[in-house]
Amino acid sequence: MNYSNVNYSRGQVKIQQMAFVLVAIMIFFAIVVLFYLSIRVNLLKGDVEILRNEEAKEVVRKLAGRPELSWTVTDCASCIDLDKALVLNHRESYEDFWEVPFLQIERVYPDGEGECTKGNYPDCRTITLVDEGIYIAHSAFVALCRHDELMGDKCELGKIYLGFRSVG
Amino acid sequence: MNRGGFEFSFAWLFAIIVGVVIIFLAIYFTTSLIGNSRYEADTKIAAQLETILNPVETGLEEGKLIIIGFPSETRIYNDCNEFGDFGDQAISTSTKSGIGDKWQEPGAKIKSKSKYIFSEKVVQGQEAYVFVKPFEMPYKVADMVMIYSQDYCFVKPFDDIKEEVEDLNLPGINISFNIDDCPEGSKKVCFVFDNDECDVKVGQTNVQEAYYEDSLVYGAIFSSPDIYECQLKRLMKRDAELALLYASKAEFLVGKGCSTGLAGELVNYASSLEDFGGSRELPSVKLKSDDIGRENELLKCKLF
């Protein structure tokens, strides 16, 4: 073996060492980028979840504006006509109308107990218009308005629950 | 020795044939996969469009406008079915692509019983303008959703229509007092005057063959006659169900010290709506609805 062959061998070893170092650095930076991206994606998922919930609440509020439920005696955007909701319950023509698995109106204040019927109305708690299948329910506060014998038109605090079908 | 010939061995021939077959199969399966993916994507777009239209409904507003943008040029297919208690509304979409067919068959239809979309049977564009108006007869029945993408030129419109277009700043709609001043390529809508260049002629009570009342004029202008008549019949069915609902409420309130006397009239009104045959019957329906509306206004405890 002569002097030039030894130099070439040393040179090749150096090149190989440099190649390994470069590969290690690339892997290191790749791990750092993956770590950063996973944190960003998780934050984004959180934001998306918040936006979805807000959107769902908006859809729930809009449902209170449907002509079948809305209180139209006076101008009121988030008011439900509880008298209409009571007579709407169990109407055959509205069985498949709502296209949601769960729709319920609940009186929050004053308190009441049980499902509303013509017998216990208005001293009751809930009117369930649809309840079928598996769902994730979202709710929104609304005003429940009705005609009262003594006070005329009366509004109380309530909630409307809307079920969404879960996917996957 | 002159060896000018080219030797083409069997191995080369076999390799070329197999290569061509593999490339052909790859292109075939790729385009097939793209086709299925487009169907899936078009169905997703239709579902998203249906979802976007949910919160668009009016509350106390007299009108609303939203602009929907698509990633690429899109066709919205509007299908209306008047059968059943409420009929249904079906929308499907198809997107333009540079691979395979430029426009393929639309994706799956997304149906809804509570939407009433007035538009041409196919609306095409990268942007769609959605204009929403409540329909009342005499109580609020539903929201009319007008979807359009092309330019319109309203020639000598009625004052209330002119005011509404200007207030909402409806995109793509020009107001002109002379048909010659209309932008080229726009659909010319002429109000109460005749001209051969008019694409749509609006009278005091009708838009060509379609009769209208109040906000239905927008439905008649922006949609094809078939879609207009179908959606109108669906609206009348919903109106009938609401009339029966209000009649039940009226009967229920009698026991609560509120006697409206409207229950019988509302049931009769619902019966007349159930036999609704088309827009020509609108004037008589409007008369009955106005009577009920006037009587309700005079009540101490109103039904609606």
Q: How many CB atoms sit inside 10 A of residue A60's CB?
A: 23
Angle between helices B263-274 and B282-297 (to 10 degrees): 160
Pairing of strands B116-118, B187-191: unpaired
Could you tell me which of B125, B117, B118 has the C-alpha nearest to residue B69?
B125
Model confidence at B6, in pLDDT bands (50, 70, 90)?
Answer: low
pLDDT at B193 over 80: no
CA distance A161 to chain B (A): 16
3-state SS, residue B221: helix
Confidence (pTM):
0.81
Task: Give the whole-angstrom CA distance, residue B150 versus residue B185.
Answer: 9
Question: Is A59 part of the contact surface with chain B (CB cutoff 8 Å)?
Answer: yes
Tens of pLDDT, residues A38-47: 888 777 777 7
A59, A67, A75: residue with CB nearest B142: A67
Task: Determine whether B150 is exposed, middle or buried from the number of CB atoms within 10 Å of its CB (0-12, 13-18, 19+).
Answer: middle
Task: Give the whole-angstrom CA distance, residue A140 versus residue B296.
Answer: 31
- Lowest mean pLDDT of A23-37, B44-58, B171-185, name the range: B44-58
Distances (CA, A) of B10 to A77, A121, B13: 82, 92, 5
Question: Is B55 part of the contact surface with chain A (CB cutoff 8 Å)?
Answer: yes
Instruction: Check the CA dihedral B24-B26-B30-B33 and report its sign.
Output: positive
Longest dimension (CA), chain B: 122
**Within its chain, how far is the Cα of A60 from the centroid?**
10
Q: How many CB atoms sit inside 10 A of residue B13's CB?
A: 10
With an 8 Å Cβ cutoff, are A87 and B54 in contact? no
Residue B80 tokens read as: 């209306």
Please check whether residue A79 is in contact with residue A71, taking contact to mean a CB–CB distance below 8 angstroms. yes
CA distance A82 to chain B (A): 10
Mean pLDDT for the stretch of residues B282-296: 95
Tens of pLDDT, residues A59-94: 787 888 899 999 988 888 889 999 999 999 989 999
Contacts B256 to A, Cβ<8 Å: 147-149
Question: Is B88 part of the contact surface with chain A (CB cutoff 8 Å)?
Answer: no
Question: Is B256 part of the contact surface with chain A (CB cutoff 8 Å)?
Answer: yes
Could you tell me which of B102, B107, B74 has the C-alpha nearest to residue B90?
B107
With an 8 Å Cβ cutoff, are B85 and A97 in contact? yes
Q: How many CB atoms sit inside 10 A of residue A62's CB?
A: 19
| DSSP letter, residue B183 | P
Provide φ and ψ at B120, rounded to 5°: -65, 165
